[in-house]
């Protein structure tokens, strides 16, 4: 186990594999299939202040190398997550959990993060700043370095746990936003969130997804995610959590060589609920194949 251990913001993980937010619920659903304590951690479903039903259906469109989703942050709201979902998770997962927090204003981010920071089992707060900003005319908060920095400063003022900022890839300069977050006090950066995409139904001659567009994820986005992780690792001194199209142990090694300290597995969990388990089990053999003694030694090794 020591071979696969990594340290993320001062917390030791048995391995770097973390199922990504929105693909693993609040953990206990997958615990019915296998012992989820083999995971490094997991990032729970994106949680907002109020309960959200999400976007209209259909929300999913298949693609050749992935999928498009437009779920729209469906969740029961922060108070019910704390009172109902986390107690269920505690019964089947005895490690630190990553809390994924969303919001539609700085005030909402601050309130949500302040509440979740008090929960013992939460190890890190992953702040998703690629949600629409209803106070700013629909602009995504995470596309503006100054707005991103303002969120980080506000959240850090009310939290004691490591704050990892999850960035959108739908920008021309990911580095400037990552650096703005670091300068504002972020403890880590996670990237990438989904790429904006769409499909059109040829028979109906209209978009497949009711929301017209959605987030594209899956193996097709891996080269883009890898490039952005590589760029951000070069630019910041804080840990990077890499994600986007990871399906194999080799993908994990490649992402860590690009600069990721830990790796989130997303869409793969939706097509195969055992995906994260299989990747963890395959890691030692993949390490042997490429002459890797300890995973922690290869972080940023391609630079």
Query: Residues in the chain with pLDDT < 50?
Result: 132-134, 136-139
- pLDDT at residue number 72: 83
Question: Where in the chain are the domains?
Answer: 2-55+72-198+219-298
- pLDDT at residue number 131: 60
Distance separating alpha carbons of residues 86 and 238, to the nearest angstrom: 28
- The answer to whether 131 is a known catalytic residue is yes
Is the peptide bond preceding residue 192 cis, with omega within 30 degrees of 0? yes
Return phi, psi of residue 11, to 5°: -110, 125
- What does the DSSP 8-state code read for residue 36? G
- Nearest alpha-carbon partner for 194 in 280, 72, 279: 72
- pLDDT at residue number 55: 86
Per-residue pLDDT reduced to its tens digit, 168-212: 999 999 999 999 999 999 999 999 999 999 999 999 999 999 989
In the structure encoding, which two tokens stand for residue 49, read together? Answer: 């202040």
Per-residue pLDDT reduced to its tens digit, 275-287: 999 999 999 999 9
Q: What is the CA radius of gyration of the chain?
A: 18
Question: Residues 298, 256: contact at Cβ < 8 Å?
Answer: yes
Is the peptide bond preceding residue 58 cis, with omega within 30 degrees of 0? yes
Report pTM.
Answer: 0.95
Annotated active-site residue in 9, 92, 131, 181:
131
Question: CATH assignment of 2-55+72-198+219-298?
Answer: 3.20.20.70
């Amino acid at each position: 186990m020591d071979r696969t251990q990594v340290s993320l913001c001062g917390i030791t993980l048995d391995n770097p594999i973390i199922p990504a937010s929105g693909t693993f619920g609040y953990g206990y659903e997958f615990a019915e299939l296998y012992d989820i304590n083999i995971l490094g951690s997991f990032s729970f479903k994106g949680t907002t202040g109020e309960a959200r039903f999400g976007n209209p259906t259909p929300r999913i469109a298949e693609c050749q190398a992935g999928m498009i989703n437009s779920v729209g942050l469906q969740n029961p709201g922060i108070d019910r997550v704390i009172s109902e979902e986390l107690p269920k998770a505690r019964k089947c997962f005895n490690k630190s959990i990553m809390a994924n927090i969303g919001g539609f204003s700085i005030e909402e981010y601050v309130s949500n993060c302040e509440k979740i920071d008090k929960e013992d089992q939460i190890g890190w707060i992953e702040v998703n700043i690629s949600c629409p900003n209803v106070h700013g005319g629909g602009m995504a908060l995470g596309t503006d370095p100054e707005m991103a920095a303002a969120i980080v400063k506000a959240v850090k003022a009310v939290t004691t746990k490591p704050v990892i900022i999850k960035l959108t890839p739908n920008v021309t300069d990911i580095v400037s936003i990552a650096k703005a977050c670091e300068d504002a006090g972020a403890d880590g950066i996670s990237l990438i969130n989904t790429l904006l995409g769409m499909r059109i139904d040829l028979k109906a001659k209209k978009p497949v997804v009711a929301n017209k567009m959605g987030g594209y994820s899956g193996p097709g986005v891996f080269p883009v995610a890898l490039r952005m992780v590589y760029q951000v690792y070069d630019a910041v001194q804080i840990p990077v959590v890499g994600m986007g199209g990871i399906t194999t142990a080799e993908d994990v090694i490649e992402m860590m060589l690009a600069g990721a300290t830990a790796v989130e597995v997303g869409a793969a969990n939706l097509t195969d609920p055992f995906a994260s388990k299989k990747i963890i089990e395959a890691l030692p053999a993949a390490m042997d194949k490429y002459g890797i003694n300890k995973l922690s030694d290869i972080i940023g090794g391609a630079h």
